[in-house]
Each structure stands twice: as structure tokens, then as C-alpha cells.
Amino acid sequence: MELLSNAPVHHSVPDRYVFPPNKRPTLLSDDHSPDVAFPVIDLHGGALPVSDHRRRHAAEEIIRAGKEFGFFQVVNHGVGECVVRGFREAAAGFFAMPAEDKLPYCSYDMSKRFRLATSTSYDRGETRYWRDYIKFRCYPASDENARHWPSKPSNFTPRLVEYSAAVHELAQTILCLIAEGLGLDGGFFTGDLSGGDTHMSINYYPPCPDPTLTMGLLAHCDRHLLTVLSQADVAGLQARHGERWLLVHPIPGAFVVNFGHQMEIVTNGVLASVEHRAVTNSAVARMSVATHVHPTDGCRIRPASEMVDEAMNPAKYREFAFSEFMEAYDAADASREEVLESFRINHE
């Protein structure tokens, strides 16, 4: 497997990374204008009693941001800067290792609990995204998960354990605030809805000689419940807002949060899963660390009864097992409309 992270510096984009013109980032305008920006939510009140007005305000802001954008950033979230920096340094150290040290982890077998790969593209053909990535189960730090993690660099596992535990706690706080903001019981998302193994995707995008020809990742929606992303200080994440692609501007110390398909279905369409993508740049490497909160495989997914009104707002989706959704998502090649259509209820 030829990894970008071990390749010599490219002075032009190799043919296998050149996308068709209609798939390049120039297809839709990349809007960097200041008139629309993704909300930044201060979570200082997230640990306060439910009766505290600051907690209610945070919950209301999350729901407002979710309805308008499907994306928001959180600050004062309780995850220490040293925890974030420590794991990002360890992850960067993994990508910087010699190719022979990374070879044992290289695989396109999605059943592996830790795998390193370089991206093939949307068409599952020869065209490649401009990225390397690792995907693995990061929480809980059980023996079954931890025995698959790399032994090099030596700080990878201890830093991962610390980081994933802190982000897990943050995700649970956000889920609790979402439930409260929707008028659900605060513990609505606990249990099977968020109780599957938490997965992590770490994407490494080296500098690209011509970012107009290729993509780091094409537009897609996430398949799970919630994503908490560290993008540090290098921009590249874009989310769709209407007919525009908006850059999610990096904010020091912030996490980016977005909803997966399961959130959209459970809330009966109130909080939608929004398409997003990654573009490249020619100046510096970019690394994003995405933590994905999953339901258990056997979890029964359906719109919450509190979100359904048979007369005014009937259920938009049928009940299903999360494992069924995962199969449909893969079969639909992550197409938002195609995968959701498999579970929609068509009311006459």
C-alpha cells in the first residue's frame, strides 16, 4: 500500500488523485464570507443543575444551531488542552513513522479493529482521495479494543486512553443537553442509543500541489449518532448550508460537533444530518481527529414518541436495527438520500 504520509513531496498531482471536473471543489462555491458562520456554543453551563438558566441556555443554543446548520463548535467544554495536544502529537507521530513500522496495520478490511489505509474514492475505483487515515475502536479501553492499538509510538495508547475518555464524557454531556433542549428526558440517549463501541477516524491530509484538482473527502453524511471533531488550527472542513459550502473556521481549543443519520431519525427530522467534505491545501499538512458515538448493533432505532404527532407530524421513518442501517449505508455508498429512502415511511 502506497501511503501519502511516506511519499516524497509531489510537485504535481498524480493522475490517480485527479478528480473529474464535476467532483472537484470548484463545482460549488466555497463561501468564506463572514455573513454566515457556524455557531460557537459555550458549554460552561453544561455541568450545572438542570434548573440553572445557563444550562437551559446552552441546550437551547445547541438545538437552534442544530436546526439551522446541523454543525456547531463548542468551547469551555472541559477537555484539557494538554489532553488534546498530547493525543494529537501521538497521532501525528504515528503518521510520521517509517513505512515499515506502519505496514502491519495497512488494510482495507473494514472488520479489522485498527487499520491504516490511503483513500480510494467515491467510485471505489482507481481515483484516490488526498488523504491517509486510521480507523479504530477507541472507547471503552477494553482489552478487546486495546490489543489492536499500535505499540509505536510508545505514547499512542496512554494518550489515546486519556483523550477518548475525556471526549466520551463531553459527548455524553452534549447528548444530555440535546435531549433537554428537545423536551426529552435528560437520559434519553443513554443506554443502547449511545452504548456501542465509540469509533475514531484520524485523517491525515499532506500538502497538495494543486488543491483545485483533488479532494480530501467528498460530500457525505455520518452514519452514526454524533461526531465530536478536533481539527486544530488548519482549515479544510466544509459543511453544506443551503446551496453553499461553508468553511468551518478553526477556533483555538474548540471541538466541532455534528449529527449523524441516527440523530436525524430519532428526532424525526428535527436535527438533520448535514453533508460535509474535506478540501486540501498547498501549504501545510492537516490532521483531523473524529470521534463517532455509535448505538449498539442490536439497538432498535425509531423516531422518539415525543417527536411524533400522528396528525401534524407523523413518523417519517420506520423502526429498524442499527446493524440493518449500517448495511444499507454501505450498499448506498454513503449517498444521503439513497440510504434514508430505505427507511422512510411514505405517507399518502
- The per-residue pLDDT for 54 is 86
pLDDT bucket at 17, cuts 50 / 70 / 90:
very high
pLDDT score of 34 more than 60:
no
Q: 78: alpha, beta or left, given left = phi > 0 and alpha = psi -120 to 50?
A: left
H/E/C letters for each residue in 238-259? EEEECCEEEECCCCCCCEEEEE
Ramachandran angles phi, psi of 128, nearest 5°: -120, 145
User: pLDDT tens digits, residue range 150-199?
Assistant: 999 999 999 999 999 999 999 999 999 999 999 999 999 999 999 999 99
* DSSP state letters, 50-116: TT-HHHHHHHHHHHHHHHHTSEEEEES-S--HHHHHHHHHHHHHHHTS-HHHHGGGB---TTSSEEE
Q: CA–CA separation, 245 vs 276, rounded Å?
A: 8
pLDDT tens for each residue of 49-60: 777 888 999 999
- Residues 295 and 261: beta-carbon distance below 8 Å: no
| pLDDT (0 to 100) of residue 334 | 63
pTM: 0.94
Name the 3-class secondary structure at 222.
coil
Q: Can you count the helices (H) and strands (E) in the chain?
A: 8, 15
For 225-250, what is the mean pLDDT?
93
What's the rounded Cα separation, in Å, for the pair 238 and 137?
25
> Where do the structural domains in the chain lie, given as residue ranges?
35-303
Distance from chain centroid for Cα 211: 22
- Measured between alpha carbons, how far is 197 from 141 in angstroms, rounded to an integer? 10
| Amino acid present at 283 | A
For 72-99, write each residue's pLDDT tens digit: 999 999 999 999 999 999 999 999 999 9
The CATH class for the domain spanning 35-303 reads: mainly beta
- pLDDT value of residue 27: 46
For residues 252-262, give the mean pLDDT.
Answer: 96
Q: Residue 309: CB partners within 8 Å, gap ≥ 6?
A: none
Residue 281 pLDDT greater than 90, yes or no = yes
